Amino acid sequence: MVFDNSGIENIVADQNIIQHVMNKHGLNLGGHWDYERVTYDLKYQIEEGIYYLRIPGYAVEGDVGARNATLQMMDPYLGKHYYPTGIEYGEDEYFPPAVVEHCKRTIISISNDLKEILA
């Protein structure tokens, strides 16, 4: 499930600023990063299963590994984890309404915080 037009996809900022705001809202730099790309994850472990809110970005300048990148953020998305195959993001997946609503609130809060800092 992709959260289109959240406002986050328009943000370009220093990696350290983005990292600070993401951590403030409970998202951690996932294991899915390299020198050009990042993914910030928020894990939901509930009775229905394990879900991940992911907010990706890529370096338009600098190096993610050296923590001196300028990041262009991208559309957030939600996926369900299946053991042992991994995470599925398809529209045919069931996403609990409470998780979806929490994701929306979190995305709005992150977007607002980043816009305020960057203003």
Q: Is residue 1 part of a domain?
A: no
pTM of the model: 0.92
Q: What is the CATH number of the domain that holds 110?
A: 3.30.310.100
Q: So what's the pLDDT on residue 32?
A: 67
Interval 10-45: pLDDT, tens: 999 999 999 999 999 999 997 767 789 999 999 999
Higher-confidence residue of 68 and 89: namely: 68
Evaluate whether 73 touches 55 at the Cβ level (below 8 Å). yes
Number of domains composing the chain: 1
Higher-confidence residue of 83 and 105: namely: 105
Higher-confidence residue of 102 and 90: namely: 102
Q: Is residue 21 part of a domain?
A: yes
Pairwise CA distance, residues 9 & 14, whole Å: 14
Q: What average pLDDT does range 94-100 have in this prediction?
A: 95
50 three-state secondary structure: strand
Q: Residue 26: which domain range? A: 8-118
> Could you give the angle at the alpha carbon of 69 between the alpha carbons of 68 and 74, nearest 5°?
150
> Could you give the angle at the alpha carbon of 109 between the alpha carbons of 8 and 112, nearest 5°?
60
Q: Is residue 20 part of a domain?
A: yes
Mean pLDDT, the chain, integer: 92
pLDDT at 84 > cutoff 90 = no
Give the phi and the psi of residue 81 in degrees, each rounded to 5.
-85, 135
Q: So what's the pLDDT on residue 86?
A: 82
